Structure 1
Amino acid sequence: MMGVRALQKEKTRRSLVEAAFSQLSAERSFASLSLREVAREAGIAPTSFYRHFRDVDELGLTMVDESGLMLRQLMRQARQRIAKGGSVIRTSVSTFMEFIGNNPNAFRLLLRERSGTSAAFRAAVAREIQHFIAELADYLEIENHMPRAFTEAQAEAMVTIVFSAGAEALDVGVEQRRQLEERLVLQLRMISKGAYYWYRREQEKMSHHSE
């Protein structure tokens, strides 16, 4: 069990992370945040910040990790919902759009830092996206009985399209977001069908060669 001091430290650390997230917006990127502002929002003295993070960059990297983990956990829950019956693609898309609606700043952080000026941030976001692709590829491999090379290519294409739609969904109204969802479902179904038929064609080619 954690002691009182350790619990308090963890609570303050969480307050700093949440304070930084709350200050992000469509107009405000992580790079524009100041240590002083984040500390004030979290209710601590700026000098106390260093008891929790080496610098603002370490805080940002923690936020990237948390955003990626939050999204992956939600998508895992979606796959559990699918196991109980329901459309794989539609359930996944609605879960993803819920994540963006509930955590716009977490998704903004991933999007912006993916092509930002910091190499450490770019690497951290790339790592989160790779985790996301790998988990989806694992799922597709088991569900579709296709080899890893196929499911990885399919997962990568799907994640690329999903992130692109997510970027559009951040700043639109409810009706436009619903239209985006429908378009995304259609695009993902096209990729899924294409991957399936491509794999079958490759299998047929191989069986003809071996005859």
Structure 2
Amino acid sequence: MSIRSEQKEKTRQAIIEAALILSEERGFPALSLREVTREAEIAPATFYRHFKDMEELGLVLVDKVAQTLRQLMRKARQRIKANGSIIESSVITQLEFSQKNAQLFRLLTSGLTGGPKIFREALQKEKQFFIDELHEDLNTDARLANTSLVAEVMVNQVLVASIEAIDKKPEELILIQQRLITQLRMILLGSMAQKKPD
């Protein structure tokens, strides 16, 4: 890679990092181009060499969230294969993710409710991917009814707990984890109670 290409990539990453840092404070939808360029220590005109507008930057951030979530899904599935518990493996993996990737997670949660439509739709699509993957796993259990709805409710519950888990101390995290595992088990028990006998 040439020095010019390296510098261009470095500037692009500085813009992305600046957007993530500022998103953590106020959410991406509230950011202006000038704020991002000031945080990245570049001129506003330089921004346009890397992104068409803030919307395009938002979509790049969504892609970053998507890649991280898919790695998370693979990790959770490996844990499930190792210890057999969908709930415990998924909860532990998700809460680890929200703590280690606080900026990305805050971006995900703030973007689901605000900002440009294209940005919200892209984040919703990634959330739906997560729901669909869980639905596929749950659908293998013949005891469960309405697995599509169950997957959606479970993912929403995990998102709420994950927001709560950000920046928590280890002992607080364990309590959140235990409560979430209980809640998810109750959801599954409710699904089993709904299953009509063949």
- Smaller-chain TM-score range? 0.7 to 0.9
1:103 and 1:112 mapped to 2: Cα distance? 14
* Count of residue pairs the alignment pairs up: 197
After superposition, the CA RMSD in angstroms is: 2.5
1:91 and 1:114 mapped to 2: Cα distance? 25
Task: With the length of structure 1 as denominator, give the TM-score of the two structures.
Answer: 0.80
Task: With the length of structure 2 as denominator, give the TM-score of the two structures.
Answer: 0.84
Aligned amino acid, residue 166 of structure 1? S
- From the superposition, tell whether residues 77 and 166 of structure 1 become closer, same or farther in structure 2 (CA, over 3 Å): same
1:154 and 1:31 mapped to 2: Cα distance? 30
Q: Identity, % of aligned pairs? A: 47
- From the superposition, tell whether residues 8 and 151 of structure 1 become closer, same or farther in structure 2 (CA, over 3 Å): farther
Task: Give the match for residue 167 of structure 1.
Answer: 163
Task: Give the match for residue 178 of structure 2.
Answer: 182
- From the superposition, tell whether residues 7 and 83 of structure 1 become closer, same or farther in structure 2 (CA, over 3 Å): farther
How far did 1:28 drift? 2.3
How far did 1:54 drift? 0.7
Moved more, 66-75 or 165-174: 165-174
Moved more, 151-160 or 77-86: 77-86
Task: Give the match for residue 148 of structure 2.
Answer: 152
Task: Give the match for residue 18 of structure 1.
Answer: 17
1:158 and 1:12 mapped to 2: Cα distance? 39
How far did 1:7 drift? 5.9
1:140–1:146 contact (8 Å) kept in structure 2: no
Task: Give the match for residue 122 of structure 2.
Answer: 124
1:168 and 1:85 mapped to 2: Cα distance? 26
What SS does the aligned partner of 2:26 have? coil
What SS does the aligned partner of 2:36 have? helix
1:16–1:42 contact (8 Å) kept in structure 2: yes
How far did 1:103 drift? 1.2
Tell whether 2:8 aligns with 1:30.
Answer: no
- Structure number with greater Rg is 1
What SS does the aligned partner of 2:186 have? helix
2:126 and 2:43 mapped to 1: Cα distance? 32
Instruction: Select the structure with the greater relative contact order (CA < 8 A; seq sep ≥ 6).
Output: 2
1:137 and 1:146 mapped to 2: Cα distance? 14
- From the superposition, tell whether residues 70 and 146 of structure 1 become closer, same or farther in structure 2 (CA, over 3 Å): farther
How far did 1:32 drift? 3.9
Aligned amino acid, residue 30 of structure 1? F
Aligned amino acid, residue 16 of structure 1? I
How far did 1:99 drift? 0.9
How far did 1:43 drift? 5.0
1:47 and 1:137 mapped to 2: Cα distance? 45
- Unmatched runs of 5 consecutive residues or more in structure 2: none
1:135 and 1:86 mapped to 2: Cα distance? 16
How far did 1:117 drift? 4.4
